[in-house]
A = this chain, B = another copy of it.
Amino acid sequence: MSAQIIAIDAMGGDFGPRSIVEASIACLSATPSLHLTLVGQTSLLEELVSGLAAIDRARLRIVDASEVIGMDERPSQALRGKPDSSMRVALELVRDGKAQACVSAGNTGALMALSRLVLKTLPGIDRPAMVAAIPTRQGYCQLLDLGANVDCSADHLYQFAVMGSVAAQALGVRRPRVALLNIGTEDIKGNQQVKLAASLLKNARGLNYVGFIEGDGLYRGEADVVVCDGFVGNILLKSSEGLATMIGERLEALFKAGLLARVAGALARPLLRRLQSDLAPARHNGASFLGLQGIVVKSHGSAGVQGLQSAIQRALIEIQENLPQRLHGRLEDLLP
């Protein structure tokens, strides 16, 4: 296996550069073929990595970027006002072939806007989509879009379906079942965009379209790829995170109510921890931007070390599977 080089936006995210450097070091130890380029304020990053062993340092470069994009900044500000932001410089490394992927835990809207500007979309794709793996009863499904595109036409949903299918294949699903998220499974259900997208998907050659899926069907694992607009996808993802957290807290509370419950709790706690980490998809897996001429993975803002590691892992798989090129090939066959 040849070396992979990933550019890390070292300044983004809720926890700052320290946790990003920590996660980077851990990933370098775990993957001997991995090289990382940390992008950000050199003096700060040099200080943070100074304690590292020589073998790690050899696979860790630092590239200077003087500006930082804030988590609440408008995408338009990030586009116009900050030519030397860590996020932008990291993306430019991908554009210029100096890195094979960019990972950032920073401002999602800015990352999407800058990715489109710097890397451009693939031919036939109007808008990139954000996709993440959601745990289901059967394993995982790829849910997209997760918030990059608030209003979507039927054509956009169709493009998301094609991209999601190719991504699921790259992740090892042989013939991904692709479904459209809707409020019922009958043909008459849903809004105009969804109905129109369904008729496009029914006629798509080489795509395993299985029809409408409802919110509960997603968690039953009835599809490998679930397509919706970014408004719906973001709300589904965040409400699921909120519900999983609430259930975890209620379990903790139940296991404190009385002596017997405490005993049960002491026995059950390690099991519950495992369950909870399984159930925080966005926190623990990276969300990938699909449809760009390059690989960009967004790590959850409050993900911490483990989240960034998962995002780097997803970027590694996409590099190995050459995802943008595979997408490009399939788009030519599948898009109308």
Contact = CB atoms under 8 A, between A and B. Distances in A.
A72 interface: yes
Contacts of A192: 151
Contact of A267 (B150, B243, B264): B264
B220 A137 contact: no
A255 interface: yes
Contact of A218 (B218, B242, B275): B242
Given A216-B238, A268-B255, A246 B137 contact: yes
B238 A215 contact: yes
A188 interface: yes
Contacts of A263: 267
Residue from A217, A250, A263 having most chain B Cβ neighbours under 10 A: A250
A239 B240 contact: yes
A186 interface: yes
Interface string A298-312: 000000000000000
A280 to B, nearest CB: 11
A202 B188 CA distance: 36
A9 B82 CA distance: 63
A100 interface: no
Contacts of A150: 183, 190-191
A236 interface: yes
Contacts of A279: 243, 247
A254 interface: yes
Residue from A190, A232, A239, A260 having most chain B Cβ neighbours under 10 A: A239
Interface in A141-193: 147, 150-151, 181, 183, 186, 188, 190-192
Interface in A228-270: 228, 230-232, 234-247, 249-251, 254-255, 257, 260-261, 263-265, 267-268
A61 interface: no
Contact of A246 (B219, B234, B241): B219
Given A147-B183, A265-B268, 9 more contacts: A135-B246, A181-B235, A183-B230, A215-B240, A243-B243, A251-B271, A254-B272, A260-B267, A267-B267
CB-CB nearest 3 A-B residue pairs: A215-B239, A215-B238, A216-B242
8 contacts: A215-B237, A216-B238, A216-B239, A235-B236, A243-B243, A247-B279, A251-B271, A255-B268
Interface of A: 72, 74, 135-137, 147, 150-151, 181, 183, 186, 188, 190-192, 214-220, 228, 230-232, 234-247, 249-251, 254-255, 257, 260-261, 263-265, 267-268, 271-272, 274-275, 278-279
